[in-house]
Amino acid sequence: MRTPMTIADFLDRADLGFRNSPGVVDEPHQPAPPVPVSTYGRFAERVRAWQAGLDALGVGEGERVAVAGHNSARMLELLFAVPMSGRICVPVNFRLKPEEVDYMVAQSGASVLLVDPELDAALSDVKVRHRFVLGEQTETELMRFGVEPRPWSHPDEDATATINYTSGTTARPKGVQLTHRNIWVNGMTFGLHTRVWERDVYLHTLPMFHCNGWGMPYVMAGLGVKQVVLRKVDGTEILRRVDEHGVTLMCGAPAVWNMVLDAAATWEGEIPGRDRVRIICAGAPPPTKMIQRVGEELGWEFTQIYGLTETSPLLTFNRTQPGDADLSAEERARNLSHAGLPALGVKLKISDSGEVLARSNTVLDGYWDKPEETSAALEDGWFHTGDGGTLNETDGHLTISDRKKDVIITGGENVSSIEVEDTIFSHPAVAEVAVIGVPHEKWGETIKALVVLAEGATAQESDIIAHCKQHLAGYKAPTSVEFRDAIPRTATGKIQKFKLRQPYWSELERGVN
């Protein structure tokens, strides 16, 4: 027998087996009235109310519903409600500028846009057929409580469930089509490797827009795990909620755990969660020193994964092995700094050029309405990650050594260097520009612009940075600008960014931080 694997499986089990168990604790400090603490039964009722509301609005199967906002119970509900009804959810990065959001809404063809109250004014001019502000407006004007939504006519595990936009090697972001099958397999594999069970308490330290919170909301619901929503990342607030709610599991980029370590230095009393909390780190290779500090100063178990939005995202998994017990803390941390062993069901290989290639049931279906980019990414039946790496012949572990795509990962956020270059080049004083990532102790990498000014023109570092912040999300702006007389190019006119990066990375073993 074969039945389609869809997102509905996770919530159906939660509603059946954990109807009266704690489901979701919303963020108490937000501009909209928080959703009251709910059981999984109440969570499922609210999901059905969203679906019935979209039915009444005339939003059909396959139509796209965009959601732009910070973490909230409502956004979590929509990650279930929209795809479970055969529609496609488009989670949008709340840090983006209005013109960037407008592009994503238009490119995906979304017919509905739901925005966080904090973004209401900024996104007021985004063009879309139906627009709602999350909170009282959606509760009264959109959601239909007590109305049974129409069922998905033909549930299909190969149908697109979400479109998640990622910065790539072009100025325009690409919409990654993740299917129900992609999300289902990723969720179950993640749950297996992280040892998720009913007594866990999960804190949403990841932005939910980011690869659907890495897919963790789904497996958490399926196993009846209490989910605590955190709207904005703050080290002290993370420690406080670990203490208050008995949190056992969290995910985040290295920058998140650096914030927690900083906050722990001034925390009064014993660090909460010692010998209980498991953290999953991804988004950038974590420094060995940071990994060691997590174990020694927090007493939390550290695990690293590697993946991309295009792979749902789990590709590798690295946790301390039983055989590592006799190693020093520094040696154990060094082992954990590698990307790890391929996750169950993942095949990896290194191309002749040194690029990491992957095969898995979690690899994207394609880029939305971009067939050429899809063909290039899935050439020869392998997904081309754009990252350089090596596979250990003895134990099969992957180490990421360099980034071949022109992507900078700062604080866990992907930034297209070409997008930043295009923006800087639009400044009237700029004749040439190259944007690269350089090491940063807190953010892993930060953005540096190498700029050649036009003849006779003048500009200060602050001018270039302010120009970027005016046109791009703040995290995409360079943190430093270096003015040069020229930018070296090859005989064919190409800029070799690896050579520009080399002086800044020469003291590190790898070209990623």
Confidence of residue 513 (pLDDT cuts 50, 70, 90): low
Domain annotation covers residue 420: yes
- Give buried/exposed letters for 217-240 (b at 16+ CB in 10 A, else e): bbbbbbbbbbbbbbbebbbebbbe
Q: What angle do CA 92, 105, 464 make, to 5 degrees?
A: 70
CATH number at residue 162: 3.40.50.12780
Domain annotation covers residue 173: yes
399 and 415 both lie in a single domain: no
396 and 447 both lie in a single domain: no
Q: What is the pLDDT of residue 168?
A: 53
Q: What is the pLDDT of residue 420?
A: 87
Confidence of residue 512 (pLDDT cuts 50, 70, 90): low
Give me the mean pLDDT over the 44-63 stretch: 98
- Give buried/exposed letters for 157-169 (b at 16+ CB in 10 A, else e): bebbbbbbbbbbb
Q: What is the pLDDT of residue 417?
A: 79
Tokens of 200: 């866990």
Give me the mean pLDDT over the 480-494 stretch: 74
pLDDT digits (tens, 9 = 90+) for 210-245: 999 999 999 999 999 999 999 999 999 999 999 999
Domain annotation covers residue 70: yes
pLDDT digits (tens, 9 = 90+) for 369-422: 999 999 999 999 999 998 888 899 888 999 887 666 667 888 888 887 778 887
Q: What is the pLDDT of residue 511?
A: 66
Mean pLDDT for all residues in the chain: 92
354 and 500 both lie in a single domain: no
Residue where a domain terminates, one of 370, 403, 436: 403
Q: What type of residue sits at position 208? A: M
Q: Could you tell me where the DSSP H helices lie in 284-352? A: 288-293, 329-336
Confidence of residue 489 (pLDDT cuts 50, 70, 90): low
State the pairing for strand pair 278-281/301-307.
Answer: parallel
pLDDT digits (tens, 9 = 90+) for 4-32: 999 999 999 999 999 999 999 999 999 99
Q: What is the pLDDT of residue 167?
A: 67
Q: Is the pLDDT of residue 491 over 50?
A: no
The span from the CA of 234 to the CA of 244, in Å, is 15
Dihedral, 70, 343, 280, 220 alpha carbons, nearest 10: 60
Q: What DSSP designation does 312 have?
A: S
Q: Is the pLDDT of residue 487 over 70?
A: yes
Kindly tell me the sign of the dihedral angle through the C-alpha atoms of 256, 261, 264, 265. Answer: negative
Domain annotation covers residue 391: yes
Give me the mean pLDDT over the 75-79 stretch: 98
CB atoms near residue 11 (< 10 Å): 24
Tokens of 346: 């993942």
Q: Domains in the chain: how many in total?
A: 3
Q: Is the pLDDT of residue 490 over 60?
A: no
Between 307 and 506, whose confidence is greater? 307
Q: What is the pLDDT of residue 403?
A: 67
CB atoms near residue 253 (< 10 Å): 24
CATH number at residue 393: 2.30.38.10
Q: Say if CB 244 and CB 218 are below 8 A apart.
A: no
The span from the CA of 209 to the CA of 116, in Å, is 12
394 and 413 both lie in a single domain: no
DSSP 96-165: S-HHHHHHHHHHHT-SEEEE-GGGTTTTTT---SEEEETTHHIIIII--TT-PPPPPSS--TTSEEEEEE
432 and 380 both lie in a single domain: no
Tokens of 458: 């003048």
Q: What is the pLDDT of residue 3?
A: 96
Q: Say if CB 205 and CB 232 are below 8 A apart.
A: no
14 and 111 both lie in a single domain: yes
Domain annotation covers residue 116: yes
356: domain range? 347-403
Could you tell me what percent of the chain has a pLDDT over 90? 74
Between 441 and 103, whose confidence is greater? 103
Domain annotation covers residue 249: no
438 and 361 both lie in a single domain: no
pLDDT digits (tens, 9 = 90+) for 267-320: 999 999 999 999 999 977 777 888 999 999 999 999 999 999 999 999 999 999
Domain annotation covers residue 171: yes
Q: Is the pLDDT of residue 323 over 60?
A: yes
Give me the mean pLDDT over the 448-459 stretch: 91
Which residues have a Cβ under 8 Å from the Cβ of 457 and sit 6 or more positions away?
428, 429, 430, 431
Q: Is the pLDDT of residue 208 over 90?
A: yes
384 and 437 both lie in a single domain: no
Domain annotation covers residue 486: yes
Q: What is the pLDDT of residue 492?
A: 39
Between 492 and 419, whose confidence is greater? 419
Could you tell me what percent of the chain has a pLDDT over 70? 95
The span from the CA of 233 to the CA of 260, in Å, is 10
Residue where a domain terminates, one of 119, 147, 181: 181
398 and 415 both lie in a single domain: no
153 and 38 both lie in a single domain: yes
Residue where a domain terminates, one of 149, 181, 213: 181
pLDDT digits (tens, 9 = 90+) for 92-136: 999 899 999 999 999 999 999 999 999 999 999 999 999 999 999
Q: Say if CB 124 and CB 99 are below 8 A apart.
A: no
Kindly tell me the sign of the dihedral angle through the C-alpha atoms of 375, 380, 381, 385. Answer: negative
382 and 425 both lie in a single domain: no
359 and 421 both lie in a single domain: no
CATH number at residue 440: 3.30.300.30
